[in-house]
């Protein structure tokens, strides 16, 4: 006697819709984690570039009587003095993901001998010398809410962290408080309002020159 086996059946419409719904839910849940991981990866790379800038700053000071490069208006002016002797690539100052200060459409023009608007991410403390304490901050992510403060336009706002480089060559992610400031050791005042910065007339905070948008051209 021949036994006729039923043919295998595919997914029903309801089963297919359930599978699609599950996949869509998993994708929705995973997207924030993927985005956060991408931001952390960019932050790690930016921290590495910041360390290279700090090394270059130390070398510059060693050749100039302990005086670090100075600027008047923008950090671009002071940091640009590291080119090309102490840093040979302008892309070291450019940070992927920064749409406030860096031009996301193009990397810096390496043929240019200075840092133009859109080519530098970093804020800088001008006027420091090697006589200042080694834990004095000298480099930081560009400020987006006035000098010393960050808001939603900050590159790492998703992480609520800011990269800060010190004169000893260290670069550390620092938490941003609810008021947008990175706090100093006492937990109350801004790290960038320390006596070494706020009480020295020769020392000033310089922000990067904000990139020129299309409407500015």
Looking at the chain, the whole-number percentage of residues with pLDDT higher than 70 is 88
**Neighbour count for residue 152 (Cβ, 10 Å):** 9
Could you tell me which residue, 215 or 94, shows the higher pLDDT? 94
Specify the pLDDT at position 198: 85
- Element (DSSP H or E) covering residue 137: strand 137-141
User: Per the structure block, which two tokens stand in for 201?
Assistant: 């007339």
pLDDT tens-digit map of 116-160: 999 999 999 999 999 999 999 999 999 999 999 999 999 999 999
What is the distance between the alpha carbons of residues 83 and 129, in angstroms, rounded to a whole number?
Answer: 19
Specify the pLDDT at position 49: 97
Average pLDDT score, the chain: 88
What is the distance between the alpha carbons of residues 31 and 15, in angstroms, rounded to a whole number?
Answer: 25
What is the distance between the alpha carbons of residues 200 and 205, in angstroms, rounded to a whole number?
Answer: 11
Least confident window among 16-20, 37-41, 158-162, 183-187: 16-20
What is the distance between the alpha carbons of residues 183 and 25, in angstroms, rounded to a whole number?
Answer: 39
Sign of the alpha-carbon dihedral angle for 139, 144, 150, 153 = negative
- Element (DSSP H or E) covering residue 37: helix 13-63
Mean pLDDT, range 161-174, rounded to an integer: 97
pLDDT tens-digit map of 81-99: 999 999 999 999 999 999 9
Max alpha carbon distance in the chain (Å)? 104
Specify the pLDDT at position 110: 78
Specify the pLDDT at position 1: 52
> 188-208 as b/e, with b when 16 or more CB fall inside 10 Å?
eebbbbbebbeeeeebbbbbb
Sorting pLDDT into bands at 50, 70 and 90, what band is 214?
very low
pTM here is 0.83
Q: Taking 70 as the threshold, does the pLDDT of residue 3 lie above it?
A: no
């Amino acid at each position: 006697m021949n036994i006729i086996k039923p043919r295998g059946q595919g997914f029903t419409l309801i089963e297919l819709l359930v599978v699609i719904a599950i996949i869509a839910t998993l994708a929705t849940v995973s997207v924030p984690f993927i985005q956060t991981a991408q931001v952390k990866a960019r932050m790690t790379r930016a921290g590495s570039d910041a360390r290279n800038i700090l090394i270059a700053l130390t070398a510059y000071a060693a050749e100039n009587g302990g005086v670090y490069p100075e600027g008047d208006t923008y950090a671009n002016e002071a940091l640009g003095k590291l080119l090309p002797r102490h840093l040979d690539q302008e892309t070291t100052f450019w940070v992927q993901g920064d749409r406030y200060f860096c031009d996301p459409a193009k990397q810096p023009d390496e043929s240019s001998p200075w840092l133009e608007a859109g080519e530098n991410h970093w804020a800088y403390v001008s006027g420091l010398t090697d006589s200042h304490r080694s834990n004095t901050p000298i480099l930081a992510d560009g400020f987006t809410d006035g000098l010393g403060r960050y808001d939603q336009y900050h590159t790492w706002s998703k992480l609520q962290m800011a990269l800060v480089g010190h004169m000893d060559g260290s670069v550390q992610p620092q938490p941003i408080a609810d008021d947008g400031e990175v706090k100093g050791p006492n937990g109350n005042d801004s790290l960038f309002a320390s006596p070494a910065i706020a009480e020295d007339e020769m020392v000033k905070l310089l922000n990067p020159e904000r990139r020129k948008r299309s409407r500015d051209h």
